[in-house]
Amino acid sequence: MWRRLLAEFVGTALLVTAVVGSGIMATTLSPDDVGLQLLENSVATAFALGALILMFGPVSGAHFNPVVSAADWFLGRRARTGLTATDLGGYVLAQTAGAIAGAVLANLMFDLSAVDFSGKDRAAGHLWLGEVVATVGLLTLIFALARSGRAAVAPAAVGAYIGAAYWFTSSTSFANPAVTVGRAFTDTFAGIAPGSVPAFVVAQLVGLVLGVGLVLALYPDAGRAAYEVVTPAVADRKTVEGARR
């Protein structure tokens, strides 16, 4: 378990470092073009996410996201696959701590204050709706891949979805409570004001509920493949296969 929690901590930290760091670099290289800044930020995030899933997926499943872990627990609990309730608590704590650490690391790499809370307000109904849409789409994609036996393409597919959702959602697709909290610790391009965090997290939890409902409607037996989310963790796969025998 400690290896899995370490993988979730480091993986989430590096994901937020990629999000924040590329945002800082984008504003430095393209100071007068917000569209180009978003393009640079989204491309770097998409590629980094795909690489991180490849790196840490075999250890922890590479969730890096409390809503993904919560959906994995909920859908897999009856089939006794996926995360246990204890696992879920550990994953959420590791992911949130990792996200904060990642923002601090990015700040330090660019010679900024280690912690500089963002002043960028993101508080509006259309942004919250964007978060709901982004979260529902992410969960549906992940469980569709797991249920259809295509988890091997998750690094490319999830990275591509997040990269695209930067552009087609009004909120630029946070879709991740841990990352949302982490991004409050940097007053840079990717930041979010601490006061805007709770509503974003609520919207993501609404997306979690709707996403799980959609997954169950489309794939009623999705829970049987919960150990494949996001990618199969080696320890989980061996446990499930052993139980089947």
For residue 222, what pLDDT is reported? 81
Question: In the structure encoding, which two tokens stand for residue 119, read together?
Answer: 């002043």
For residue 87, what pLDDT is reported? 94
DSSP 8-state class, residue 228: G
pTM for the whole structure: 0.91
For residue 239, what pLDDT is reported? 46
Give the span between the Cα atoms of 54 and 48, in whole angstroms: 10
Give the span between the Cα atoms of 227 and 239, in whole angstroms: 9
User: What does each of the 245 residues of the chain score in pLDDT, given as a tens digit?
Assistant: 999 999 999 999 999 999 999 999 999 999 999 999 999 999 999 999 999 999 999 999 999 999 999 999 999 887 778 899 999 999 999 999 999 999 999 999 999 999 999 999 999 999 999 999 999 999 999 999 988 888 889 999 999 999 999 999 999 999 999 999 999 999 999 999 999 999 999 999 999 999 999 999 999 888 777 777 777 776 555 444 443 34
State which fold the 2-234 domain adopts.
Glycerol uptake facilitator protein (1.20.1080)
Question: In the structure encoding, which two tokens stand for residue 102, read together?
Answer: 């990642």
Give the span between the Cα atoms of 208 and 108, in whole angstroms: 33
Per-residue b or e along 105-123, where b marks 16 or more CB atoms closer than 10 Å to that residue's CB: bbbeeeebeeeeebeeebe
For residue 240, what pLDDT is reported? 42
State CA 76 to chain mean position distance.
19
Q: Where are the alpha helices (DSSP H) in 150-196?
A: 154-168, 177-183
Count of Cβ atoms closer than 10 Å to residue 198 Cβ: 12
Closest to 17 (Cα-Cα) out of 102, 104, 112 = 102
For residue 174, what pLDDT is reported? 96
